[in-house]
Amino acid sequence: MRELETLGQVDLPAQVAAVPQARRYVRDLLDGVNHPHADDALLLLTELVTNSVRHSDSGRTPGGRVTIAVARHNGTLHIDVIDAGSTTGQHPQVYPDTDPDSGGGRGLWLVQQLSSAWGWHETPAGRVVWFQLACR
């Protein structure tokens, strides 16, 4: 069993501008390791960072931050999106009955469909939402 290989981590302001910044950062990391599902990883990353900015306390608080951590382990790419969580009681959930004509609500559904695994957990500092993609 191989050890966890950290590819990189970046801390960004929890603003809309963080979405393309996060994509560029992770795209550069994945170009360096020639990941076969980089496009899927970037799509799912976009959804999770957008959710952090729009729905977490990080995005609602001046100076809020979102952190992206990228690693590989045993043939799997693992990406964490870490934010301050939500004091409003919101938590990540998939909406299976999203109207196809609506302008949103499909982000976590995409994460569920395209990733090999995903989930979330609370930490003392906030919330981690993560996904994994097989490298093979």
pLDDT digits (tens, 9 = 90+) for 43-99: 999 999 999 999 999 999 999 999 999 999 888 999 999 999 998 877 788 876 766
Model confidence over 85-96: pLDDT tens digits? 998 877 788 876
The tokens describing 5, both together, are 């290989």
Residue indicated by tokens 């090999």: 116
pLDDT score for 36 = 84
> Using DSSP, how many helices (H) and how many strands (E) does the chain show?
4, 5
pLDDT score for 1 = 53
Cβ–Cβ < 8 Å for 106, 64:
no
Q: Is the pLDDT of residue 102 over 70?
A: no
pLDDT score for 77 = 94
Cβ–Cβ < 8 Å for 56, 92:
no
Instruction: Tell me the Ramachandran region of residue 74: left when phi exceeds 0, alpha when psi lies from -120 to 50, beta otherwise.
Output: left
> Which 8-state DSSP code applies to residue 37?
T
Residue type, 33: V
Q: Is the pLDDT of residue 10 over 60?
A: yes
Superfamily of domain 5-134: Histidine kinase-like ATPase, C-terminal domain (3.30.565.10)
Q: Is the pLDDT of residue 100 over 70?
A: no
- CA geometry: angle at 111 spanning 106 and 113, to 5°? 90
Rounded to the nearest integer, the mean pLDDT of the chain is: 90
Q: Which helix (H) or strand (E) holds 65?
A: strand 65-73
Q: Domain residues of the chain, as ranges?
A: 5-134
